[in-house]
Chains A and B, each alone.
Chain A
């Protein structure tokens, strides 16, 4: 998946932020759980200190602490930790117990409600947890201290940690899946629009449904629909322009041509007549050029109404226009033939006809006198193939790309056409999502132009 995709970005950001939150949660939960566990062990330790109290007695004002062996054994027996005790007299002098237990109690540590003070220290090279219990006897303050190593405290911490990591990991996993699924579902409208747009090739442009879209996407769809409207307006304006330009250019040409014919009919002198004839031919060439340039404007993408697009049988288009080509070919005594099978494409039948007409025009121009021109159409694989072949000089391989440029002429070839025919063909073929290539006929010299257009496929298949 691309790093630029919205889906990827959302997934990445949400996964990171959600899992960072879970990671931050881990120490907090751990601290809370740990404090509860430590508190429970502290209570236990304070009870141990309290259990020493009965053994501290006063004999005639002299304090005495005697711990029976069984009691001491009970005190010191613990599954995980070493237990220590210490009894201090009013002047902090040791009365009994492990005298090397450090006493680190600040005077202000004592709390009014509680006779206990807890502290951490180190004993015999090991960290220990200790508790001091204030005991008042004969008006004197005695301290009963109990301490233990940290084994079970550390053990419970590891247990808490392990116990937290697994569920939090599961949480992260479930969270991730929920995010992934949520994004997929939320972005589904975008996918729907993409699918709708993909189906709109071949000039099948139509507005998208606006109301069913989420509010974030609706403006995009509205903009797209507005763009379609603007494109339609632009196409209409273009058509209007072509129509007006055609009228403004051709009417004076027609006037001049007709007047020249009147002049020709009224003069006897052959030299003057030939001058008039050459002028009429120049008018015809100029008119052809106007037609070609208008065709280019018309063939440009978006210049024609979408409504002119339909399923077109290429062989029918060729048959319909064959008469005019046969007449032109007859003028040069060229044998114009056809090999036609049905081939359905989607497009504008007038533009397809114009494209083939330009190919046939060229073939008739460049075929030798009494030459041979053949127009073919058929289906080959997924394509409709249209071929126009002549037996003229052909086009050298290195020129085959350039001849599609506007006004390009082959070097060394007498000026005959307008230089726009193949440019029009290329433009129309591009509009139909097809391809055009210039080849050499297999059996003889000449030029073979092959156009392949995508076959029309019903949308549901």
Chain B
């Protein structure tokens, strides 16, 4: 994947580009928004990793101008600013994701992968979570290559959980999704679907964690 890294700290830029290249990404480094604008005019990139605190034009201004010019490339903001002040602002100004400095290399790579998956979803229509593959148009599922029998409601629950890997999904949200067909549905019914899904998936190492009082969370594939 073509990645444009906009970061003025040489040590960090060097480290990040090493990590990305080791994962078979092609990395171009720019030390300021002005230099990055020059690269963007010449080449196509799949993703931009953008630092906020840049010399000259700051990252936020650069991103706002980029979006104003209808450039909708994937942008992940790297912020060293206090999360209490910048988190919400960064997302509303049009970044696809953000990562607070300092970060773990695996986290950065996982987020990049997740971003690309989200973008590619309409094209491939196939969801992959470790050994689990869901093919949306045909409504068929495989686990470790073996076809998996998933009734519609279980499929819907799993689908929503897969949309929110590592994020807590509340029971109410699951109920709302299922209510499209079923009018009277309680939290207890959800528990039944979850326990059925667990019976099918846990042996393959796919874990659905119960979050007492809220709902469920599909853990990331290790």
| Residues of A bordering B, CB below 8 Å | 239, 242-243, 246-247, 249-259, 261-262, 265, 283-284, 287, 291, 294-295, 298, 319, 322-323, 326-327, 330, 335-340, 350-351, 354, 374-375
A337 to B209, CA, bound (A): 11
A324 to B10, CA, bound (A): 30
Of B52, B102, B170, which is within 8 A of A258 by CB? B102
With A330-B209, A336-B211 as known contacts, state yes or no: A252 contacts B81, CB within 8 Å.
Answer: no
User: Are A255 and B166 closer than 8 Å at their CB atoms?
Assistant: no
User: Are A283 and B213 closer than 8 Å at their CB atoms?
Assistant: no
Q: B31 at interface (Cβ–Cβ under 8 A)?
A: no
Query: Given the complex, which residues of B lie within 8 Å of A326, measured CB to CB?
Result: 168, 209, 211, 217
The chain B residue with its CB closest to the CB of A259 is B15
Q: How far is the CB of B97 from chain A (nearest CB, A)?
A: 14
User: Are A258 and B213 closer than 8 Å at their CB atoms?
Assistant: no
Q: How far is the CB of B215 from chain A (nearest CB, A)?
A: 9
Q: B212 at interface (Cβ–Cβ under 8 A)?
A: yes
A323 to B209, CA, bound (A): 11
User: Are B81 and A350 closer than 8 Å at their CB atoms?
Assistant: no
Q: Mark B79-111, 1 if CB is under 8 A from A, else 0.
A: 011111111100000000000111111000000
Q: B121 at interface (Cβ–Cβ under 8 A)?
A: no
Query: Given the complex, which residues of B lie within 8 Å of A247, measured CB to CB?
Result: 52-53, 80-81
Query: Given the complex, which residues of B lie within 8 Å of A354, measured CB to CB?
Result: 84
User: Are B168 and A253 closer than 8 Å at their CB atoms?
Assistant: no
User: Are A251 and B104 closer than 8 Å at their CB atoms?
Assistant: no
User: Are B212 and A335 closer than 8 Å at their CB atoms?
Assistant: yes
Q: B11 at interface (Cβ–Cβ under 8 A)?
A: yes
The chain A residue with its CB closest to the CB of B164 is A323
Query: Given the complex, which residues of B lie within 8 Å of A254, measured CB to CB?
Result: 9, 12, 78, 80, 101-103
Q: How far is the CB of A322 from chain B (nearest CB, A)?
A: 5
User: Are B168 and A251 closer than 8 Å at their CB atoms?
Assistant: no
Q: How far is the CB of B179 from chain A (nearest CB, A)?
A: 19
A255 to B5, CA, bound (A): 14
Q: Mark B60-93, 1 if CB is under 8 A from A, else 0.
A: 0000000000000000001011111111100000
The chain A residue with its CB closest to the CB of B172 is A319
Query: Given the complex, which residues of A lie within 8 Å of B104, measured CB to CB?
Result: 257, 261
Q: B128 at interface (Cβ–Cβ under 8 A)?
A: no
16 A–B pairs (Cβ distance < 8 Å), ordered by A: A246-B80, A247-B52, A249-B80, A254-B9, A256-B102, A258-B11, A258-B12, A258-B15, A261-B104, A265-B19, A326-B168, A326-B209, A337-B211, A337-B212, A340-B213, A375-B213
The chain B residue with its CB closest to the CB of A261 is B105
Q: How far is the CB of A390 from chain B (nearest CB, A)?
A: 14
User: Are B84 and A295 closer than 8 Å at their CB atoms?
Assistant: yes
User: Are A340 and B214 closer than 8 Å at their CB atoms?
Assistant: yes
Of A242, A250, A258, A375, which is within 8 A of B19 by CB? A258
User: Are B101 and A337 closer than 8 Å at their CB atoms?
Assistant: no
Query: Given the complex, which residues of B lie within 8 Å of A239, measured CB to CB?
Result: 85
A259 to B100, CA, bound (A): 17
Query: Given the complex, which residues of A lie within 8 Å of B213, measured CB to CB?
Result: 337-340, 374-375
The chain B residue with its CB closest to the CB of A299 is B84
Q: B123 at interface (Cβ–Cβ under 8 A)?
A: no
